[in-house]
Chains A and B, each alone.
Chain A
Amino acid sequence: MSDVLQTMLKIGGLWKSFAGFVATRDVSFELKAGEIHAVIGPNGAGKTTFFNLITGHLRPDKGSVAFEGRDLVGLPPQRIVRLGIARSFQRINIYPRLSVFENVQVALIAHEGQQWNLFRPGRSLHREGTRELLELVGLAAEATETAGELSYGKQKQLELAIALASQPRLLLLDEPTAGMSPQETSETIASVRDIVKARGLTLLFTEHDMSVVFGIAERISVLHHGEMIASGAPDAVRNDPEVKRVYLGNNAHG
């Protein structure tokens, strides 16, 4: 109760295994509204599984996921998006054969629930909103290009625009800078931070680049072999002996 920030996402005792392999082991976790929170951990630590469990892509074996007090377990992705959680994917997940413009436009149509409108011409809808979002992520000049032909970094930006089109309160970005050059990485991170702050969003992201993580995260959680071994302010996590042992100390690259 001492904290002025409200809990936005509360996860308790979350388990998930695949054919005997435990990918998520008794994870409990709390996310405060308005914070920028990083989930780190070596490859295979279960970061993406963790995201998939929150967003309804996977169903947990056990445990609870509550968003603003509402239980999410068992809800399909489309319901969870409508409650205010949007995500990007580690592997590019866009509409490669549609134009950049249409990629965002269809997300806005979906957000407004207009996918059931059989009469209004789809391409005439949300032109202004689409343009604004493309400008926000720096893709205004590429609007008419085929999305699949964009550079990798720009496809990542498009992912972000699609996620923002759902007007989430909580944004989940799965390795937003994976595969980017250091230059692109720092630009992307600055832009993500600006957008999140300007829109008053809560950000939960996974990342393996430590400079990125310690550059913008206000809180950090560490996953290791599916277990949440630490969660707290960056300095506390950096100095946590357990974290040092398994992750930062010997293999910062992951």
Chain B
Amino acid sequence: MPQRNQLIASAALVVLLALLPLAGSRYAVDLTTEVLIYALFALSLNVLIGFTGNVSFGHAAYFAIGGYTCAILLTTYRWPLAISLPAAVVLAGLVAAVVGYFCVRLTQIYFAMLTLAFAMLVWGVAFKWKEVTGGDDGFTGINLPAMLTNHVSYFYFTLAVVTVAIAALWVICHSAFGLTLVAVRENNVRTGFIGVDTRRMRWAAFTVAGSFGGLAGALFGMYHRGMYIENAFWTESAQVLIMVLLGGMYSFVGPILGAATLHLLQVFTNQYTTYWPTVLGLILLVIVMVLPDGLIGLVSRVKARWGKT
């Protein structure tokens, strides 16, 4: 019954989070909203990294496409949220499908470099297409529906959307499709010989990852009431990659833990010093040297030791 326990624990967590605004701290509510968005972003990337075994260095592209699309449709075109948000997801997914079509022809470092190259193209478009995206001034003044302008209501909106999205990702990752992705990750050649077109599987994983990454980006843009070209920059792609590695890529929940830990560390570090990149470097060092399975790996190692004594 471990799955049932997981379900109960997740439901309890969502209820607990829903009670958070009652504590009355605007700071805590805002911080949690950000963590929820990053958790979804990291989980979306892990479909590609942890489940399919394809490391993308350009995941910020889909985050940015989702964010800009939603922002522009809401503000420039005055479309309702109920259309703008799904449209942002669809567009991010479509671009991921086109980019993925080329990327899955390559593997390993060549795959990673191509994802990076496409992401830089997306960044370039955001930078240069000033009349639509605002260029390096950013796209600001996003027109949110009145009912979401309050930070608590936006928190609830984010909690609801992220919960549904994570549930959907959970179903996908544990489906027959998800198990076959794991097979592709573990032994690509063998998986061809059991009758699977592994390239198409990787393509599908790329598209799924991009779509959910776009959703995270749309939530992010609306939360900040603006999208900026930095959101499409490769450092964003690196940051979400570190979230995944920090949490643990071979576990479904790992990236959530990684996103929460890294984001909170960043916020707290920035209160005391301006040396966040140095801290980030140290974190990366620790992951690579002592936490190859991330925090989740650490948890299970500690559990195993406790279980023995």
Q: What is A's interface to B at a CB cutoff of 8 Å?
A: 55, 57, 76-78, 81-82, 86-87, 89, 93-98, 102, 105-107, 109-111, 113-123, 125, 162, 165-166
Q: Report how many A-B pairs have Cβ atoms within 8 Å.
A: 98
B179 touches A166 (CB 8 A): no
Complex: chain B residue closest to A108, CB-CB: B194
Selected from B172, B177, B183, the residue in CB contact (under 8 A) with A95 is B183
Pick 8 A–B contacts, CB within 8 A, sort by A: A76-B197, A78-B197, A93-B190, A94-B190, A110-B194, A114-B176, A116-B176, A118-B171
**Residues of B close to A122: CB separation below 8 A:** 174-180
Most chain B CB within 10 A, of A57, A98, A109, is at A109
B107 at the interface (CB under 8 A from A): no
B191 at the interface (CB under 8 A from A): yes
Main secondary structure of the interface of B (DSSP, over half): helix
**Residues of A close to B176: CB separation below 8 A:** 109, 114-117, 120-122, 125
C-alpha gap A166/B195 in the complex (Å): 8
B179 → chain A, closest Cβ, in Å? 3
Most chain A CB within 10 A, of B186, B190, B194, is at B194
Complex: chain A residue closest to B175, CB-CB: A118
Selected from A87, A109, A162, the residue in CB contact (under 8 A) with B179 is A109
A96 touches B193 (CB 8 A): no
A109 touches B187 (CB 8 A): no
B182 touches A98 (CB 8 A): yes
**Residues of B close to A57: CB separation below 8 A:** 189, 193
Q: Which bucket holds chain B's interface residue count?
A: 20 to 34
C-alpha gap A112/B194 in the complex (Å): 10
B192 at the interface (CB under 8 A from A): yes
**Residues of B close to A102: CB separation below 8 A:** 179
Given known A116-B177, A119-B171, A123-B179, contact A110–B190 (CB-CB < 8 A): no
A110 touches B177 (CB 8 A): no
Q: What is B's interface to A at a CB cutoff of 8 Å?
A: 171-172, 174-180, 182-183, 186-187, 189-198, 201, 204
Most chain B CB within 10 A, of A82, A106, A117, A119, is at A106
Given known A87-B193, A110-B194, A162-B194, contact A95–B186 (CB-CB < 8 A): yes
Q: Which 8 A-B pairs have the closest CB atoms?
A: A122-B179, A115-B180, A81-B195, A110-B194, A114-B176, A107-B194, A77-B192, A117-B176
**Residues of A close to B183: CB separation below 8 A:** 95, 98, 106, 110
**Residues of B close to A76: CB separation below 8 A:** 192, 197
A96 touches B186 (CB 8 A): yes
B40 → chain A, closest Cβ, in Å? 18
Complex: chain A residue closest to B196, CB-CB: A110
Complex: chain B residue closest to A126, CB-CB: B176
B122 → chain A, closest Cβ, in Å? 26
**Residues of A close to B187: CB separation below 8 A:** 93-96
C-alpha gap A95/B194 in the complex (Å): 12
Given known A118-B172, A118-B175, A121-B175, contact A81–B190 (CB-CB < 8 A): no
Complex: chain A residue closest to B197, CB-CB: A78
A81 touches B193 (CB 8 A): yes
**Residues of A close to B201: CB separation below 8 A:** 115
